[in-house]
Amino acid sequence: MKTFRYPDAFPLEDAGLHNALKNQLGLDKKPSLDRVKKIFKKYAGWEAYATLYLWKSLELTS
């Protein structure tokens, strides 16, 4: 993900990513790894960008 040279970099087990998905999707608990993979299928090749936006959403809810 460094300097966007890897737009498909995907920190699947990142706690921040899971918290952001929980918040954005209105879930009661963090999503499972399988659910995260399923959600990110539509972002294939652009996972790093989607992750950055999700991380940014955590700042907005703090």
Residues recognised as catalytic: 14
Within 10 Å of residue 46's Cβ, how many Cβ atoms? 13
Is the distance from CB of 40 to CB of 11 less than 8 angstroms? no
Q: Can you say how many angstroms the Cα of residue 51 is from the centroid of all Cα atoms in its chain? A: 4
